[in-house]
């Protein structure tokens, strides 16, 4: 009863923070899903420490994202070590073609996936634009990355058929619209990522999952608590 009353008071306040809390009370599990395993030991590494020519645009550390507010306290990107090392190889291959990788997001704590679900309209959930926290996200496992490319000669993000996190048909990796150049760059990114063991999400050209993602556990630990910027504490693993 106390939790229900708290939700009602939040509704009366009508603030963004209160609405998020209300949704959390009503629609999502209170903690990460429990999985039996066994899993590989989590070994998250900071991408730019392996290759500083991979640029970051961590939108979720700013208000420039679909929630309209920061959800990360630090603008950093991590992946499980094999995925991060594969990403470095993709970046080096793209350099020969005049491009570099621009990363929007990598490992994502489960609590952030829950928040995304809570604030997203049901019709957008049904189209798969956000992951269901009851199942967890491949981002929560450190085995998914959101990214695009930048032009090496200018340092600027290249144009693609849609913007990042655009909830529309233009986001699809096989969308036929946009310009020839936009589709060519999108397809180049996909081809280079697939060479290194990544597969594109069917609804988002920017989202790639690394092979063997299911062998890693769902994690819920903020960036600033990743010990030594490499190995994750076992206490953060959903069991």
pLDDT digit string, tens, across residues 194-226:
999 999 999 999 999 999 999 999 999 999 999
Are 217 and 37 in contact by the 8 Å Cβ rule? The answer is yes
Same domain flag for 66 and 56: yes
Asked whether residue 21 falls in the same domain as residue 139, the answer is: no
Structural domain of residue 187, as residue ranges?
Answer: 32-236
Mean pLDDT of 121-148: 93
Can you give the pLDDT at residue 29? 63
- Say which residue, 196 or 32, is predicted with more confidence: 196
Say if residue 158 is in the same domain as residue 223.
yes
For residues 143 and 45, membership in a common domain is answered with yes
My answer on whether 160 and 81 are in the same domain is yes
Cβ neighbours of residue 67 closer than 8 Å, sequence gap 6 or more: 60, 115, 116, 119
For residue 16, pLDDT beyond 70: no
Grade residue 129 by pLDDT with cuts at 50, 70 and 90: confident
Same-domain pairing of 74 and 2: no
pLDDT tens for each residue of 42-94: 999 999 999 999 999 999 999 999 999 999 999 999 999 999 999 999 999 99
Q: Which of 81, 72, 93, 10 is nearest to 44 (CA)?
A: 81
Distance CA 222, CA 112 (A): 9
Confidence of residue 122 (pLDDT cuts 50, 70, 90): very high
Quick one: pLDDT at residue 101? Answer: 98
- pLDDT band for 17, please (50, 70, 90 cuts): very low
CATH code: domain of residue 190 = 3.30.1380.10
Q: In terms of domains, do 50 and 14 share one?
A: no
Kindly tell me if the per-residue pLDDT of 100 is higher than 50.
yes
Under the banding of pLDDT at 50, 70 and 90, the label for residue 155 is very high
Q: Are 48 and 56 in contact (CB under 8 A)?
A: yes
Tell whether 4 and 71 lie within a shared domain. no
pLDDT at residue 37, as a whole number: 79
Strand, coil or helix: what is 151?
strand
pLDDT for the residue 7: 40
Same domain for 85 and 134? yes
Number of domains in the chain: 2
Copy the structure tokens of residue 101: 């990788």
Task: Using DSSP, state whether 211 is helix, strand or coil.
Answer: coil
Q: Considering the candidates 194, 204, 214, 224, report the single residue annotated as catalytic.
A: 204
Let me know whether 115 and 2 are in one domain. no
Calculate the average pLDDT of the chain: 86
Do residues 129 and 140 both lie within one domain?
A: yes
Same domain, 17 and 107: no
Q: Is 157 a catalytic residue?
A: no
pLDDT for 28 equals 52
The mean pLDDT of 111-129, rounded to a whole number, is 91
CA gap 87, 51 in Å, rounded = 9
Beta partners for residue 76, in sequence order: none
């Amino acid at each position: 009863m106390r939790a229900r009353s708290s939700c009602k008071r939040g509704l009366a306040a009508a603030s963004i923070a209160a609405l998020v809390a209300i949704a959390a009370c009503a629609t999502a599990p209170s903690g990460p899903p429990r999985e039996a395993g066994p899993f590989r030991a989590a070994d998250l590494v900071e991408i730019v420490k392996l290759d500083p020519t991979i640029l970051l645009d961590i939108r979720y550390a700013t208000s420039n994202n679909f929630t309209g507010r920061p959800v990360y306290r630090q603008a950093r990107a991590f992946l499980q070590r094999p995925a991060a090392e594969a990403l470095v190889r993709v970046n080096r291959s793209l350099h020969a073609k005049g491009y570099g990788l621009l990363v929007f997001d990598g490992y994502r704590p489960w609590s952030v996936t829950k928040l995304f679900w809570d604030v997203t309209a049901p019709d957008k959930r049904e189209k798969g634009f956000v992951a269901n926290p009851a199942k967890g996200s491949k981002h929560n496992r450190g085995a998914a990355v959101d990214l695009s490319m930048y032009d090496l000669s200018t340092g600027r993000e290249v144009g693609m058929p849609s913007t990042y996190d655009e909830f529309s048909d233009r986001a699809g990796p096989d969308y036929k619209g946009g310009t020839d150049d936009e589709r060519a760059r999108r397809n180049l990114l996909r081809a280079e990522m697939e060479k290194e063991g990544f597969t594109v999400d069917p609804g988002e050209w920017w989202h790639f999952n690394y092979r063997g993602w299911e062998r890693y556990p769902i994690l819920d630990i903020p960036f600033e608590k990743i010990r030594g910027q490499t190995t994750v504490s076992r206490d953060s693993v959903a069991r």
